[in-house]
Chains A and B, each alone.
Chain A
């Protein structure tokens, strides 16, 4: 299990930040290569992420579900369950947002298996760290 914390700044008010991260159709495309495929329940979508590695890429498809939502504390948890397309690997994660005025923090607990994990936990951690940093930078531009 990889655990990562990222503070982020959006320059937006707390309510605007809340609206952004609780809207799966807006927040998932902030992950590079991420897109919503369809809404399957009020709190769940089917989604995919295509992770580019130069000429090659790995695509993970699965669900993103809102499993916790505390509006008064401005905290929400998104649960990602995905499987590598054409492979045996999985990428699962709980992503906890704690929001405030101007930004917030995101705590990620991720478990990656399969080919991606064969690079080693240190590599997976570095790539996830860079992916989430890129994601939080994109949140600021929404």
Chain B
């Protein structure tokens, strides 16, 4: 099975923390360029993503609503200060199922040159629906969560990644 922007979405949700967390936004970020293959019979899966293709879809919370300029500025920060064009690749070496459509992919995520184990949960439905979720703790991959406002507003260490195949995909 091949997945990519043509038949699925790959998104990242971030939260915020710190004394001034109220000032910041929870972000929904889309990865625009990526591809994945999933071979259930062979028990393998691989996903690669272009770390410069992230773009902010929406932001909630905060003391001011996010405008298009703000979203573009966040993208610039992601590209230049957070991901810096580094590699993103997940390779699963084991796929296990529980029989109710739920699958667990166990493998390694190479994030900006650091490889660490990652588990992705997948659920599938008879209509071809497929959705997957993983939680990535940035510091586990040697990343320093983005911080601003003199360190009182930070992106939460854990970010949530979701993959969703569209019904018509």
Contact = CB atoms under 8 A, between A and B. Distances in A.
Contacts of A32: 150
B74 interface: yes
Given A54-B24, A55-B77, A123-B23, A116 B149 contact: no
A126 B151 CA distance: 10
Q: What is the interface residue range for chain A against chain B?
A: 20 to 34
Contacts of B96: none
A53 interface: yes
A116, A122, A130 pick with most chain B CB within 10 angstroms: A130
Contacts of B152: 123, 126-127, 130
Contacts of B12: none
Contacts of B6: none
A54 B71 CA distance: 11
Q: What is the interface residue range for chain B against chain A?
A: 20 to 34
Nearest to A126: B19
20 contacts: A32-B150, A52-B149, A53-B153, A54-B153, A55-B71, A56-B64, A56-B73, A115-B64, A119-B20, A119-B22, A119-B23, A119-B63, A123-B20, A123-B22, A123-B152, A126-B19, A127-B152, A130-B150, A130-B151, A131-B150
